[in-house]
Amino acid sequence: MTATSPRHATNSLHVATPRHATPPPPSETPPVAAPEPLARLSDVEQYRAAFERYRRGDWDDERWTAFRLRFGIYGQRQPGVQMARIKIPGGVLPIHWARAIARANRVHAKGDLHLTTRQDVQLYSVPLAATPALLEDLHAAGL
- The yes-or-no verdict on residue 4 having pLDDT over 70 is no
Give residue 127's pLDDT: 96
Mean pLDDT of 10-29: 58
Mean pLDDT of 5-14: 52
Residue 126: phi and psi, rounded to 5, are -90, 120
Residue 2, Cβ density class (10 Å: 0-12 exposed, 13-18 middle, ≥19 buried): exposed
Nearest to 135 by CA among 115, 30, 31, 126: 126
Cross-strand pairs, 126: 82
- The yes-or-no verdict on residue 11 having pLDDT over 80 is no
Q: What is the Cα–Cα distance from 15 to 30, expressed in whole angstroms?
A: 25
Q: Check if the beta carbon of residue 143 is closer than 8 Å to that of residue 101.
A: yes
Q: Hey, how many other C-beta atoms are within 10 angstroms of the C-beta on 47?
A: 22
Give residue 135's pLDDT: 95
pLDDT tens digits, 56-85: 999 999 999 999 999 999 999 999 899 999
Residues whose CB falls within 8 Å of the CB of residue 89, separated by 6 or more in sequence, listed in order: 38
Residue 53: phi and psi, rounded to 5, are -60, -45
pTM of the model: 0.72
- What integer best gives the mean pLDDT of the chain? 84
pLDDT tens digits, 106-141: 999 998 999 999 989 999 999 999 999 999 999 999
Mean pLDDT of 29-44: 70
